[in-house]
Amino acid sequence: VLPAAVKKVTIWGNHSPTEYPDIHHATVNNQEALSLVGYQWYIKEFIPTVQQRGTAIINVRGQSSAASAANAAIGQMRNWVLGTEADDWVSMAILSDGSYGIEPGLVFSFPVTVTNGQVSIVKGLSINEFSEERLRITEAELMSEREAVRHLF
């Protein structure tokens, strides 16, 4: 499958093992991604693999995944400048406006579209109970991290 065939995958929340890779709205060649891979594979294989990717790279290379982070930064700049495709979105860590019940002002990764440099959270996505739990877990971690450094500002 070519990467361009995959649309609307979302990474919610923190850049840590609590991040939530969500394929409930994703498509592959215009077919529902979840129906193609199966729910058990998604839960037992995909989510943990994505959540542990940074650790896996460090374990193999013996050093940080800085090249992956640099590549991601390039991709984000490209999306900011050129925008997102009309039938797709990307994930970006931005200040929460309260969407999906995430505390306003918290930096959190959301599904977004970008048009003429304007970043907009994708609104109205259905969130099932499993996804809701994952959003709360990563939100709680981010709030805890913010509190741990609040005295520095």
Per-residue pLDDT tens over the stretch 53-74: 877 777 787 777 777 788 889 9
**Averaged pLDDT, 73-78:** 93
Per-residue pLDDT tens over the stretch 17-40: 999 999 999 999 999 999 999 999
Please tell me the predicted confidence (pLDDT) of residue 103: 98
Per-residue pLDDT tens over the stretch 34-51: 999 999 999 999 999 999
Q: Which of 15, 24, 25, 151 is flagged as catalytic?
A: 15
Question: What 3-state DSSP class applies to 9?
Answer: coil
* Residues 75, 71: Cα–Cα separation, whole Å: 6
Please tell me the predicted confidence (pLDDT) of residue 72: 87
Assess whether pLDDT exceeds 80 at residue 94. yes
* Residues 49, 43: Cα–Cα separation, whole Å: 10
Domains of the chain, first to last? 3-152 (3.90.110.10)
151 flagged as catalytic: no
pTM: 0.91
* Residues 100, 122: Cα–Cα separation, whole Å: 10
Per-residue pLDDT tens over the stretch 110-153: 999 999 999 999 999 999 999 999 999 999 999 999 999 999 98
* Residues 95, 33: Cα–Cα separation, whole Å: 28
* Residues 29, 128: Cα–Cα separation, whole Å: 24
Neighbours of 37 (CB within 10 A): 15
Assess whether pLDDT exceeds 90 at residue 81. yes
